[in-house]
A and B are shown apart, each in its own frame.
Chain A
Amino acid sequence: MNDRVCVVGIGVVEAKDPMVDVSHKEMLFYATRHALDDAGLERKDIGSAITTSFDFLEGRSLSNQFTLDSIGGVMKPCDLRLGEDGIYSLFAGYMEVMSDPSQVVVVASVQKASERDPDGLSYQKLIADSMEPVFSRPVCKSVPNLLGLEPVLAAMEARAFMDRTGLSEEDLAEVAVKNLNMDKGTKGSGPDKKTVLKSDMLSWPIRTMTKAKEADAACAIILASENRAKDLQNEPVFVSGIGWCSDKSHLAFREQGVSRETKWAARQAYKMAGIRRPDREIDLAEVSDWYAHRELLHCEALGLCGSDEIKGCVADKSFQKEGRLPVNVSGGLLGRGNAVGTSGLIRVAQIVRQIRGQANGFQVPGVGVGLAHSWGGIPTATAGVAVLSKW
């Protein structure tokens, strides 16, 4: 079989501090240029190019048309834009390669959060404006202080999850400590549990340190068929399964404290990849830890642990770097920052680095199969899952 789809190049531009020296178009260019260099390719080799973006996060209507020249997409089959996390561009790119296995496809996403928030309220306004407009939005818009909106909505789902599973605030703090300490250069020097549990309470159990901070980042990934990849310089990393799913659009209609969409996205990806026991067959996972409780909620939905095992997995450090199934060894969103809409594609790049053995300070030995997961954030119930493998 040589029609499998592979990752042949990756490029990531990210920083915890605002990237004040470049525009978002320049960030996307750098990410794409790095990915092309990584693959040993040039713009002329690109068959088609796909971006994902959210117009209101960027403050630009038709934001995709604004970025196509930054991904080498001028006068190419481009502009197939998706208003979802970057991981969705991987799915679309996968289908592009399947439809014409001779072509090389660039998929990319950028988020410059630091440009958005001069008054500190913009993201909260966007959350309110993402709510169902007739029955929910008027309520969300009339809260005494919009600054509290996202934390309260996050707290509602966390509370339902904790009520069902028996997880404590301390368990969530463990997740935050793990991810805040995994970041390269700060291993062991990050905050401890006490510090996390003392950080400002936004809305129980959401604290400043159990919620990922927004960050600037761009990510580009280059896809090709296995046949095409043979001529390229890198050992290919195979995209062996993909899946995506959304639950009911109206938040109040969903079961609280579960991620049905993640479960179903994973089911699709596992079926494609031939995975029956994800808890045994996956070596490493990068999942959305937008909030600390979300990491555990997603591990459960992805089948990386049973519903009755979550608390035990925290206690026995299963998801630590040295554990049974390392999760977010890159630091995840909590450790690295959350570039909303781009973070999911960065999770894919992190898995590719691990499979290639290029993850430097946070390399886990012998990663053969890795999983990348993305969630759209509150108030969405949209998830994407990609299984990547060495063989």
Chain B
Amino acid sequence: MAKKKAVLSIDGEIQINYKWSVGKAGDRFFTELRDHKKIMGTKCRQCGRILVPPRIFCEECFVEDMEWVEVEPRGSLLTFGESYFSTDGKRLKEPWMLGIVRLKGSNGGLIHFIRESRPEDLKIGMPVEAVFKSKPEGNIMDILYFRPANN
């Protein structure tokens, strides 16, 4: 089939900035993370699930009946993926990895970097632990990454 002739085109873009509230639950979570390097979850008094990231309501029971609990900075790796893409388009020797970590005793998960390991060392379900930033600022990057942990 003959190539179709392109009609003229013009350039376009949309660029808008935002400032999002982290919510009541996020405020408490990030304050504890910044000031005490603690990971906090909210426990639903009705179903008993501990939510991390926390919410002020349980999306299953649909009530605002939660109490704050501290969660250990370790848990299990639900899944992970690796990429050898670098910014300059060259293949990296050591890949960067993302994973989903479910902290011990909690329900939910954190998407975060997995480091100090290679993809072939990782297994679904293995224990991992958080590594914190030395000077936390009150956002999710105060956790630098997760790494394999001893059971």
Q: Which residues of A contact B (CB under 8 A)?
A: 19-23, 56, 59, 61, 115, 131, 133-136, 138-140, 142-145, 147-149, 151-157, 159-160, 163, 201-204, 248, 250-253, 256-257
Contacts and interface: CB of A to CB of B under 8 A. Distances in A.
Given A148-B96, A204-B119, A139 B83 contact: no
B85 A134 contact: no
A253 B99 contact: no
The residue in B4, B92, B112, B119 that gathers the most chain A C-beta atoms within 10 A of its C-beta is B4
Contacts of B110: 135, 252
A59 B140 CA distance: 29
Interface string B72-111: 0000001111111111000010001111100000011111
B63 interface: no
Contacts of B99: 156
Interface in B38-53: 53
Interface residues of B, number: 42
Contacts, number: 118
20 contacts: A21-B4, A21-B5, A22-B7, A131-B111, A133-B20, A134-B20, A135-B110, A138-B139, A144-B83, A148-B84, A148-B96, A149-B83, A152-B98, A153-B81, A153-B98, A157-B79, A252-B109, A252-B111, A253-B107, A256-B100
A18 B22 CA distance: 41
A155 B82 contact: yes
A202 B85 CA distance: 8
A216 to B, nearest CB: 12
A251 B13 contact: no
B85 A135 contact: no
A185 B141 CA distance: 51
Contacts of B116: none
B79 A159 contact: yes
Pairs A-B, 3 closest by C-beta atoms: A148-B83, A155-B81, A252-B109
A143 B112 contact: no
Contacts of B98: 139-140, 143, 152-153, 156
Contact of B82 (A131, A136, A152, A256): A152
A136 B81 CA distance: 15
Interface string B106-124: 0111111100000100001
Contacts of B82: 152, 155, 203-204
Nearest to A61: B14
B113 A252 contact: no
Given A134-B53, A159-B79, A257-B79, 6 more contacts: A21-B6, A135-B111, A139-B141, A149-B83, A152-B98, A201-B84
A361 to B, nearest CB: 16
Contacts of B85: 144-145, 147-148
Contacts of B97: 152
A204 B141 CA distance: 26
B78 A160 contact: yes
A155 B79 CA distance: 9
B100 A203 contact: no
A151 B82 CA distance: 9
B26 interface: yes
A151 B81 contact: yes
A134 B26 contact: yes
Nearest to B83: A148
B14 A134 contact: no
B7 A21 contact: yes
A56 B69 CA distance: 38
B47 to A, nearest CB: 14
Nearest to B119: A204
B141 A248 contact: no
B6 to A, nearest CB: 4
Contacts of A204: 81-82, 119
